[in-house]
Amino acid sequence: MTQEAPEFIEVGEGQNTRKIAIRHREGKSSGVVWLGGYRSYMIGTKAEAIDQWASENGKASCRHDYSGHGESGGEFTDGTISRWLEESLAVFDAKCAQGSHVLVGSSMGGWVALRMVQELAKRDESHRLKALLLLAPAPDFPHELMKLNLSNDQKMQLETRGYMEEPSEYSDEPNVFTKALFDDGDENRVMKGMIETGCPVHILQGMNDPDVPYEHAMKLVSHLPNENVSMTLIKDGDHRLSRDQDIALLIRTIETLINA
């Protein structure tokens, strides 16, 4: 399928200015905002399925590529949670000013979504959120899932080169994690206390996920005091949750949340 060219907005100032690519679909009432994972793009399987559903049901949808990802500008190695959060909020303000929206955060996008919740609350704008749907959420992943498992060589790489590499199961290119990502991640941790979302939260989590263990999602639930929190465990589900049955479950869950 031929992709329409994205729109762009500029985020940041001076040398930190970068062009962020957006695909936005107008629609009635509540919309769906896609927040992708680390090194994922807005034309991935799940994001495309959500946009198709939105088109067929007259709903608004919005997705973007973080800087250093996909069609957006900027260097990937400059990326941090603070930087990608700034971009996500800028897109949300530019394209989702009307109505209330379901934030769908996949993997690292779940972390970005939770930080957006906190920043919107500071602005007294929690009413702009209808619900959160988190797919294999990876909040605080450098601290919670990586630091304790770093080898001495990886620690040395971070200190001497400013980044480390590890093989990727999803690409021929290695995953690159910078010291800046680790340091900034510590400043953006959300699993240090209670996370007040002010809206329903649903988590979809594969129990066969090699990247984000389902125990991490269960730990996240313990930090969500809102009684309207639920989780669906997919026994044979992996990290991507991109099989036909996973996509069907994703869409059904969005329909439930957006029509509540």
Give pLDDT tens digits for 2-33: 578 999 999 999 999 999 999 999 997 789 99
List the beta bridge partners of residue 68.
none
Catalytic position from the list 61, 101, 239, 246: 239
Is 239 tagged catalytic?
A: yes
- Quick check: is 191 in a domain? no
CATH number of residue 247's parent domain:
3.40.50.1820
Q: Residue 156 falls within a domain, yes or no?
A: no
Share above pLDDT 90 across residues of the chain, in percent, rounded to a whole number: 90
Instruction: Give the range of the structural domain holding residue 37, as residue numbers without chain letter.
Output: 11-139+196-258
Q: Which residue has tokens 């066969």?
A: 208
The answer for residues whose C-beta is within 8 angstroms of residue 227's C-beta and 6 or more apart is none
Q: Which residue has the higher pLDDT, 129 or 171?
A: 129
Residues 140, 184, 209, 211: which is the catalytic one? 209
Q: Which of 22, 15, 50 is nearest to 246 (CA)?
A: 50
Q: What percent of the chain has pLDDT over 70?
A: 99
Burial 106-122 (b: 16+ CB within 10 A, else e): bbbbbbbbbbbbeebee
pLDDT of residue 2: 55
SS3 for 35? strand
Annotation marks residue 209 as catalytic: yes
- Under 8 Å CB-to-CB from 128, ≥6 apart: which residues? 92, 96, 99, 100, 101, 120
d(Cα 194, Cα 226) in Å, to the nearest integer? 9
Q: Which whole number is the average pLDDT over 45-71?
A: 97
Number of structural domains in the chain: 1
Among residues 106, 107, 184, 211, the one annotated as catalytic is 107
Token pair 């959120």 in the structure block, residue: 129
- Under 8 Å between Cβ of 9 and 71: no
For position 260, what pLDDT does the model report?
85
239 within domain boundaries:
yes
Q: Is 107 a catalytic residue?
A: yes
184 located within any domain: no
Q: Mean pLDDT lowest for which of 154-158, 167-171, 190-194?
A: 167-171
177: in domain? no
Q: How high is the pLDDT of residue 28?
A: 79
Mean local confidence (pLDDT), 225-251: 95
